A and B are shown apart, each in its own frame.
Chain A
Amino acid sequence: MENKDISEQLKNTVQLSLNNKEKLIIKGGNSKHFYGRTPAGKTLNIAEHQGIINYEPSELVITVRAGTKLKDIEALLAKNNQMLAFEPPAFSDHATIGGTIACNLSGPRRAYTGAARDYVLGTKIINGQAEILSFGGEVMKNVAGYDVSRLITGAMGTLGVLLEISLKVVPKPETEITLVHNCTAEQALVKLQQWSVLPLPITASCFYQDQLNIRLSGSEKAINTIQQSLGGEVLNEVNAFWYSVKEQTHPFFDKEKNLWRVSTASNTPITTKNKDSFYEWGGALRWIKVDISIDKIPDSLNGHITLFRSPAIKNEVFQPLPKHLLQKHRNLKQAFDPQGIFNIGRMYPEF
């Protein structure tokens, strides 16, 4: 892993773009270029801005430069028997922590332990006025000032350039097993709901084509007891299975078709056919291969949709925002990036 601080260089580039009235596209490992709309501008590459700034396992915190590769961070944490609790998908070996946080993408564990934004403790950023600013910090509890670090998480680079990120890390569970139940989609939702009100150590769930998989994490003794009460077959190759879900290498994820991401209330009734749907997060995340019109979302959807991947050129990717909410987004964009130079058009046409 490299250890290189190019923050001044990045800042100067931002200043130059401001002077020249140019727009910038922020790029890390380019692993998530498929996600979101296509912005216009010159590339601002942050991938060289790498290195671990602080990591003390007993403090449960790691601070890293945004260009640090996700796989390097995960390897370092694993050496200390720790991990990122939100199990982020990488989609490539080049994925950086900056891109991961900018997209707020979280994996199978998300429904049970929280999203990327839940683990962000602090950030250092360059705003749209070429100022380097720090928000939050390295402590678990911090309510000084607005929570800019979490606001910028998932903003897809439209509010500023991430330079450094402090994340809360968690211990790795002692043991994990995966149980398989054969059932219909409706039965799977009922089961997941019944389990969700019980204090069970479920850390992932997934349903596809009559097969419900759940992962249990904890001490070996505890897991054995729970396994007996929940029933189901024990799945071998546990890590490989959840990796295929997280990284979308599972056969369901056919890159030739539009892939819609539906984030919904977990008890929303099933409306799509079995082969076209893939369920995660206890039913709260549904991947669908049937086309939906992003401008006419039925109320019965009970959530929001994203055109996550598409083989064709994408027009709108994220569900349109209601009028007043959109205005607040515009105002915030203006507050961070008044000249509108960062990732314009990545999220919505205006920002």
Chain B
Amino acid sequence: MGDFIPSNSLNVLPPYCRDKACLVSTELWKEAIKQSFINTHKDLFEGKMNASTVVITFVFLSMNSSSAKFSFPNINLQQLLKQLLCIVNSDSVLYQEEDLRPYECDALSAYQQLPFIVVLPETTEQIQKILQLCNKIDLPVVARGAGTGLSGGALPYAKGLLLSLAKLNKIITIDQQLQTAIVQPGVRNLAISEAVSHLGLYYAPDPSSQIACTIGGNVAENSGGVHCLKYGLTVHNIQQLKIVTIEGELITIGGNGLDSPGYDLLALLTGSEGMLGIIVEVTVKLLPKPEHIQTLLAAFDNAVNAGKAVANIISAGIIPAGLEMMDKLAVKAAEDFVHAGYPVEAEAILICELDGIEEEVRQQVIAVQNILLANAAIEVRIAKDEQERVNFWKGRKNAFPAVGRLSADYYCMDGTIPRKHLPQVLQTMAEMSKSYDLAVANVFHAGDGNLHPLILYDGSKVGELEKAEEFGGKILELCIAVGGTITGEHGVGMEKLKQMCVQFNLAELKQFHAVKAAFDPKALLNPGKAVPSLHRCAELGAMHVHHGKLPHPELERF
């Protein structure tokens, strides 16, 4: 794919960037970066901090259009370093290419970009000062936690500062009485549950990357997991946030009680993908561990029956803690990888976890077993002990890497659909898989309708990534068509900007931009992500059309 620079940055940059437009090739631009590092190193090693300054004119090329062209104001690396070193220690600033390399992408590695500079602050005060500086000199800021995001949300900005929150990794307090923990943004999701386990408590949202992903990133993406049908998403499990605004102000959002005065900024900030503020502290709610957990695994000889079983379980008034589906390819891949003992001959399997009071769980297990059998399950297993329960989950939790073994690369999608459309969507995906000649493995949070189709491709084959992306885009558009959404829990990031133009009309996108401007008028925070520019949507022609009329005929089209 090469260097990916969003055309939509056009719209969110300060006006002067658009005026001084010039156009060079991507190759020239790469060369400019290379030169900048050579010069930088030379100056620094020779101790000539004030000698030649590195001046780079960054030129942005759109992947889809050559009409988008503009440049940023010049940035002086030495001067920036000098200013940053007044705020943080020298080992907290990275600017040499080999040090920047680990930050060039998040878990969506198809998008890569070296940042201009990386800063790893250790305190909130440092973050405030860094943001004040960035705001003063119009330097874009991209926040990064563990970099496990799947939508390119933490993709660096070529002419921007990458703010790694990895060093803010302390659990500040655990309050057993209130069942809350106050943590810094770089604390890992699983580390919270581990730290409170001895109190009989845990933190409910459990994204599959929970070993590595951080709570700051979870809040920024409103992460879910396999248990959100019953326990909700991140937005349902946090109580207070401290954020630093682009102006460097520290703001507390939420409260010590269950609500706070004014607008629900806690909800607005959750899932805002680093576009509105930098999260520097999170108060999470903790839950008592359930008294009893029981897990069933059912095999079906067709996915439609599995889908019907899911609807019938919910209709029976049972809300399982987790209800997951895997198709044949995903089951086989998982089995080959972790040997969980999955029925590999099945067309689809369901894993259903029930938790709560022991008596209630026992009753529900019987009810669910009957529903599964009534929907023509060819086999139903009930975990007889903790070991077997863990085994049932082992295959599911390793499904992504397992599928990764089948193919050179895979592309993980994240649409959500109303559950009733599952058979139709699976059928259409199977047909698209044939026409694109790319295999798809399906892993599915069946309880809440969140699909994770994994498209298998080989990035070393010319054109195959583009084909996979196009296929993925079609899947997302299918999700919208049946009344769903393009992203259930991975976020829009860089990846789904195009589909945002399909899901939302221009007036809605304009409203999003206005929300962004309420927090970040100069659009310095994570520019070019999450919400596409109106230009981009107009350019793509993939516009949301209401009643056959283009919204905002007054807008200029490109």
Asked whether A and B interact, the reply is yes
Asked if residues A197 and B257 are in contact (CB atoms below 8 Å), the reply is: no
Asked if residues B357 and A222 are in contact (CB atoms below 8 Å), the reply is: yes
For chain A, the bracket of interface size reads: 35 or more
User: Whole-angstrom distance from the CB of A345 to the nearest CB of chain B?
Assistant: 14
Asked if residues A198 and B363 are in contact (CB atoms below 8 Å), the reply is: no
User: Whole-angstrom distance from the CB of B493 to the nearest CB of chain A?
Assistant: 10
Asked if A221 lies at the interface with its beta carbon under 8 angstroms from chain B, I say: yes
User: Whole-angstrom distance from the CB of B76 to the nearest CB of chain A?
Assistant: 31
Which A residue's beta carbon lies closest to that of B416? Answer: A139
Q: Which residues of A contact B484 (CB under 8 A)?
A: 137, 139
Asked if A38 lies at the interface with its beta carbon under 8 angstroms from chain B, I say: no
- Docked Cα-Cα span, A218 to B175, in Å, equals 28
Which of A41-49, A57-65, A207-215, A234-242 touches B? Answer: A57-65
Residue pairs across A and B with CB atoms within 8 Å: the count is 257
Asked if B8 lies at the interface with its beta carbon under 8 angstroms from chain A, I say: no
Asked if residues B319 and A171 are in contact (CB atoms below 8 Å), the reply is: yes
Asked if A325 lies at the interface with its beta carbon under 8 angstroms from chain B, I say: yes
Residue interface mask B439-483, A partner, CB < 8 A = 1 = 000000100111000000000000000000000000000000001
Q: Which residues of B contact A56 (CB under 8 A)?
A: 418, 420
Q: Which residues of A contact B28 (CB under 8 A)?
A: none
- Docked Cα-Cα span, A201 to B355, in Å, equals 12
Q: Which residues of A contact B401 (CB under 8 A)?
A: none
- Docked Cα-Cα span, A155 to B359, in Å, equals 42
Asked if residues A133 and B511 are in contact (CB atoms below 8 Å), the reply is: yes
Asked if residues A304 and B489 are in contact (CB atoms below 8 Å), the reply is: no
Asked if residues B257 and A303 are in contact (CB atoms below 8 Å), the reply is: yes
- Docked Cα-Cα span, A171 to B233, in Å, equals 19
Asked if residues A335 and B514 are in contact (CB atoms below 8 Å), the reply is: yes
- Docked Cα-Cα span, A201 to B292, in Å, equals 13
Q: Which of A60, A144, A225, A284 sits near B496, CB closer than 8 Å? A: A144
Asked if residues A139 and B258 are in contact (CB atoms below 8 Å), the reply is: no
Q: Which residues of B contact A347 (CB under 8 A)?
A: 262
Asked if B83 lies at the interface with its beta carbon under 8 angstroms from chain A, I say: no
Asked if residues A151 and B263 are in contact (CB atoms below 8 Å), the reply is: yes
- Docked Cα-Cα span, A318 to B260, in Å, equals 10
Asked if A79 lies at the interface with its beta carbon under 8 angstroms from chain B, I say: no
Asked if residues A145 and B512 are in contact (CB atoms below 8 Å), the reply is: yes
Q: Which of A135, A218, A329 sits near B356, CB closer than 8 Å? A: A218
Asked if A76 lies at the interface with its beta carbon under 8 angstroms from chain B, I say: no
Interface residues of A in 310-332 (CB under 8 A from B): 318-319, 321-322, 324-325, 328-329, 331-332
Q: Which residues of B contact A226 (CB under 8 A)?
A: 357
Q: Which residues of B contact A343 (CB under 8 A)?
A: none
Asked if B423 lies at the interface with its beta carbon under 8 angstroms from chain A, I say: no
Q: Which residues of B contact A151 (CB under 8 A)?
A: 263-265, 267-268, 515
Which of B154-162, B176-184, B185-193 touches A? Answer: B176-184
Which B residue's beta carbon lies closest to that of A321? Answer: B262
Residue interface mask A264-275, B partner, CB < 8 A = 1 = 111100000000
Asked if residues A137 and B317 are in contact (CB atoms below 8 Å), the reply is: no
Asked if residues B257 and A329 are in contact (CB atoms below 8 Å), the reply is: no
- Docked Cα-Cα span, A232 to B251, in Å, equals 44
- Docked Cα-Cα span, A267 to B177, in Å, equals 7
Interface residues of A in 272-299 (CB under 8 A from B): 281, 284-285
Known: A137-B485, A170-B319, A199-B356. A329 touches B500 (CB 8 A): no
Asked if residues A148 and B271 are in contact (CB atoms below 8 Å), the reply is: no
Asked if residues A201 and B356 are in contact (CB atoms below 8 Å), the reply is: yes
Asked if residues A139 and B448 are in contact (CB atoms below 8 Å), the reply is: yes
Residue interface mask A85-124, B partner, CB < 8 A = 1 = 0000000000000000000100000110011011000000
Residue interface mask B141-180, A partner, CB < 8 A = 1 = 0000000000000000000000000000000000011110
Which of B66-74, B209-217, B224-232, B378-386 touches A? Answer: B224-232
User: Whole-angstrom distance from the CB of A126 to the nearest CB of chain B?
Assistant: 11
Asked if residues B489 and A153 are in contact (CB atoms below 8 Å), the reply is: no
User: Whole-angstrom distance from the CB of B156 to the nearest CB of chain A?
Assistant: 21
User: Whole-angstrom distance from the CB of A271 to the nearest CB of chain B?
Assistant: 15
Interface residues of B in 503-558 (CB under 8 A from A): 503-505, 507-508, 511-512, 514-519, 530-531
User: Whole-angstrom distance from the CB of A286 to the nearest CB of chain B?
Assistant: 9
Asked if residues B315 and A58 are in contact (CB atoms below 8 Å), the reply is: yes
Asked if residues B507 and A141 are in contact (CB atoms below 8 Å), the reply is: no
Which of B16-24, B283-291, B339-347 touches A? Answer: B283-291
Asked if residues A144 and B261 are in contact (CB atoms below 8 Å), the reply is: no
Q: How many positions in chain B have a CB within 8 Å of any CB in the partner chain?
A: 92
Which A residue's beta carbon lies closest to that of B272? Answer: A146
Asked if residues A110 and B258 are in contact (CB atoms below 8 Å), the reply is: yes
Asked if residues A145 and B257 are in contact (CB atoms below 8 Å), the reply is: no
Asked if residues B257 and A284 are in contact (CB atoms below 8 Å), the reply is: yes
Which A residue's beta carbon lies closest to that of B230? Answer: A170
Residue interface mask B54-79, A partner, CB < 8 A = 1 = 00000000000000000000000000
Q: Which residues of A contact B358 (CB under 8 A)?
A: 222
Which B residue's beta carbon lies closest to that of A129? Answer: B507
Asked if residues B232 and A118 are in contact (CB atoms below 8 Å), the reply is: yes
Asked if residues A142 and B511 are in contact (CB atoms below 8 Å), the reply is: no
Asked if B206 lies at the interface with its beta carbon under 8 angstroms from chain A, I say: no
Interface residues of B in 237-270 (CB under 8 A from A): 245, 249, 251-253, 255-265, 267-268, 270
Q: Which residues of B contact A135 (CB under 8 A)?
A: 508
Asked if A150 lies at the interface with its beta carbon under 8 angstroms from chain B, I say: yes
Which B residue's beta carbon lies closest to that of A110? Answer: B258
User: Whole-angstrom distance from the CB of A144 to the nearest CB of chain B?
Assistant: 5
Asked if residues A143 and B222 are in contact (CB atoms below 8 Å), the reply is: yes
Q: Which residues of A contact B429 (CB under 8 A)?
A: none
Q: Which residues of B contact A267 (CB under 8 A)?
A: 177-178
Q: Which residues of B contact A281 (CB under 8 A)?
A: 258
Known: A115-B258, A325-B262. A335 touches B177 (CB 8 A): no
User: Whole-angstrom distance from the CB of A186 to the nearest CB of chain B?
Assistant: 14
- Docked Cα-Cα span, A334 to B521, in Å, equals 12
Asked if B374 lies at the interface with its beta carbon under 8 angstroms from chain A, I say: no
Asked if A182 lies at the interface with its beta carbon under 8 angstroms from chain B, I say: no
Given contacts A59-B419, A146-B275, A196-B179, 9 further A-B contacts (CB under 8 A): A61-B418, A141-B445, A141-B449, A141-B488, A143-B221, A144-B500, A171-B317, A199-B357, A263-B257
Across chains A and B, which 3 residue pairs bring their CB atoms closest together, nearest first?
A150-B267, A171-B317, A331-B518
Question: A residues near B, CB below 8 A?
Answer: 56-61, 81, 104, 110-111, 114-115, 117-118, 127, 131, 133-135, 137-148, 150-151, 153-155, 159, 170-172, 174, 193, 196-201, 218-219, 221-222, 225-226, 262-267, 281, 284-285, 302-304, 306, 318-319, 321-322, 324-325, 328-329, 331-332, 334-336, 347-348
